[in-house]
Amino acid sequence: MSVLGSGLLRTGTGRADYLRGGAANDTVDGGGGNDLLGGGAGDDLLTGGPDGLLRQPDGTIATLAADADRDILQGGAGRDTLYGGWGDDLLFGGIGADSLDGGFGHDTLHGGDGNDTLIGGRYALQSLPDDNLLIGGRGDDLLVGFSGNDTLQGGAGNDRLEAGGGTNLLAGGAGADTFVFGHYVSRNPGMAMTRQDLILDFQDGVDKLDLSPLRTVNLATRPFEFLGDQAFTDRGLPEVRYEFVGDETVVEVNHFFLDRLVGTPDSPAGVLHLAGHHALSAADFIL
């Protein structure tokens, strides 16, 4: 089915639909099927199909019901909101400050021009991790990976890339970018963090490594102490260090909570890799 609208709610059938919103602020819902949705001009809301989520007033999720269709959502000009739902979806924000959420499935999100927010799968489950590709485009973008093995590309602009719980590949692109680690790893103290994220294009003195969320994981009440390329101490304090391994720079934080609990020397916990050799300083970190 092909429908063109302007300023109205457009709902598809259970088949493969083409729905385009028009020039006004539209709401477009593809329904079931492999749909192609276009927002056109205006501030639009595009949903790929039944997301299977029953949300309570407090925002919690009550039930899930799968709809594994592959949808294509294109926002166009304006401040658009795109939600992929179930299935391996393609979301394009277009021009404007857009919000894209892939939902469940292995999704590809491209923000386009503007200061966009891209989320790999806000409601994805740890037991059902999805591997997503997030591309910010031009503008100061926020990219959030969540639980899968994701690829995050910031593009031009001062971007914020938040690695999720998987093994992720990150590239900030041009601009002063911030790479954030620790928001979505285990909150169980004493559980080793074995993540192996790789940053392809870290710029010394320009980009930042934000490790402050790891303090919550480690139950730290003070910032990590930067040791440079020196070994961890046995003081039972939160510490971060780096070393060169092959053609990469490896950044480690110690698991000081477990060390204090059992009285063993400090050991590495969180690990991330930077392509190339980087003589890091405390100024490269948010600790």
Q: How far apart are CA 124 and CA 122, in angstroms?
A: 6
Residue 188 has pLDDT above 60, yes or no: no
pLDDT at position 27 is 54
pLDDT digits (tens, 9 = 90+) for 76-129: 777 878 877 777 888 888 888 888 888 888 889 999 999 999 988 765 544 456
Contact 73, 44 (CB under 8 A): no
pLDDT digits (tens, 9 = 90+) for 215-273: 776 566 788 899 999 998 878 788 899 999 999 999 988 866 555 544 455 556 667 89
Q: How far apart are CA 153 and CA 201, in angstroms?
A: 10
Q: Report the percent of the chain where pLDDT is more than 90.
A: 33
Residue 15: pLDDT band by 50, 70, 90 thresholds? very low
Residue 12: pLDDT band by 50, 70, 90 thresholds? very low
In one-letter notation, the amino acid at residue 29 is D
Using DSSP bridges, classify how beta strands 72-74 and 90-92 pair: parallel, antiparallel or unpaired: parallel
Compute the mean pLDDT over every residue in the chain, rounded to the nearest whole number: 73
The pTM of the full predicted model, rounded to 2 decimals, is 0.77
pLDDT digits (tens, 9 = 90+) for 121-158: 765 544 456 789 999 999 999 999 887 889 999 999 99
Residue 74 has pLDDT above 60, yes or no: yes
Please name each of the domains of the chain with its CATH number: 1-180 (no CATH), 193-287 (2.150.10.10)
Closest CA to 77 of 97, 91, 57, 61: 97
Residue 19 has pLDDT above 60, yes or no: no
CB atoms within 10 A of CB 196: 11
How large is the C-alpha radius of gyration of the chain? Answer: 21
Distance, first Cα to last Cα, the chain? 53
Mean pLDDT of 48-64: 37
pLDDT at position 115 is 94
